[in-house]
Homo-oligomer: A and B are copies of this chain.
Amino acid sequence: MHSEVRIKAGAAKEAATVLGTVSTAVKNAALQAIADALRRETAQILEANRLDMEAAGAKGLSGAFIERLMLDESRVESMSRGLEELIGLADPVGEVVDGRRLPNGLEIVKVRVPLGVVGIIYESRPNVTVDAAGLCLKAGNAVILRGGSEAINSNKALVGIATAAAVEAGVPKKALQLIETTNRAAAEEMMGLAGYIDVLIPRGGAGLIRTVIEKAKVPVIETGVGNCHTYVDAAADLNMAARIAFNAKVQRPGVCNAMETLLIHRSIADIFLPDMCHSFRQAGIEIRGDETVCALCKEAVPATEEDWYTEYLALTLSIKVVDDLNEAIAHIRKYGSGHSEAIVTGNLAAARRFTREIDAAAVYINASTRFTDGSEFGLGAEIGISTQKLHARGPMGLQALTSSKFIIAGEGQIRGACPEEGVRPSVKK
């Protein structure tokens, strides 16, 4: 008697061995078939989503929650478009990453292969279901999806439609599976399935990610938490700095690459801050500042120690005045989450020191942190933004969903001299 999770993980492992050798043409055909099927079955998807929306409304869930859960025709269309974009990306499987002939004549190549079985644990955002399924399929991985319970009807509809279309195109049936048991125990069971699931990628808020990292026995790729800073140096072009800081905070405050703390060199604070704070206030941003900031900006309220650690993901910004580049770097080292950090400066030495000494996935000179994104970086679609240092760091495209293997070909090479020189193995034919 096995649980749903255990059964599906076993089936995924079997499916992965087949999917890993499926041709690019078949995978692309499956992506197109899923895109077409989602368009064709939009009514069915929206009907399932309506059930989820009604239940969420009855539970009194927040507006932002409902907004993420909601599907409409244009959202289904953009899911389909996302799949079609994957068709255009190069298949990472089979790429020869490295290779040479060794002195003994052995020919060695390092080839990209799928990871195997990828588990995605996420919240009630049905677009993640299709997104993650498409990326895993293109990279040749079987995927086990465990989405938030409030999206269960939407997810069942999406996975049902996608699976039927993919199977028709020649993909193994169990390559794409949804965990329908939506309690916490099912998620925790996934986290323990070492030997079945090759990697778990949590997608969602900081709480979800922390839970997965703490409980998982399966390797996890940590994504998403971004306590991002912009440091305006003494040598900055102040108009450029204002434009970059404003964009980093205001253009889309709810995402991980948005700025949470602005650091200002003391020598320019009095000419930079009053106008900057005014612009932020006009854009509806609440400002929490240190003493100097509060003295210069009537819009600011005092920041607490807690503020420097906080990823607001909201219309709130903390601002601190620092004495020099050293203090800016030290602040970011202490409070930053290693996601995206920017310096605005015209001074080459400052720019070089900042990029060398700041330990983050993406370090910017004179640009907005908002660019940290797989598509903006030219990697194509992304499965998330890794803030850890192993395997992948920063936006993760298809390559982050692969591993590699060495293939070595020879004509009878053996290693070293045999210790038992008297024994000369041979076979009479």
Binding site for B on A (CB under 8 A): 17, 20-21, 100, 102, 106, 108, 110, 113, 115-116, 194, 198-199, 213-214, 217, 219, 221, 237-248, 250-252, 271-272, 275-276, 279, 282-284, 333, 351, 355-357, 359-368, 370-372, 376-378, 388-391, 393-394, 403-416, 418-420, 422-429
Contact = CB atoms under 8 A, between A and B. Distances in A.
Nearest to A370: B415
B393 A390 contact: no
A252 to B, nearest CB: 8
Contacts of A415: 247, 251, 368, 370-371, 376
A361 B406 contact: yes
Given A284-B420, A366-B412, 5 more contacts: A106-B371, A247-B415, A252-B416, A279-B426, A370-B416
A395 to B, nearest CB: 8
B405 A393 contact: yes
Most chain B C-beta atoms within 10 Å of own C-beta, residue among A110, A389, A416: A389
Contacts of A413: 366-368, 371
A360 B106 contact: no
A273 to B, nearest CB: 9
Nearest to A279: B425
A10 to B, nearest CB: 13
Given A17-B333, A106-B367, A251-B418, A403 B393 contact: yes
A139 to B, nearest CB: 12
A221 B391 CA distance: 10
A391 B394 contact: no
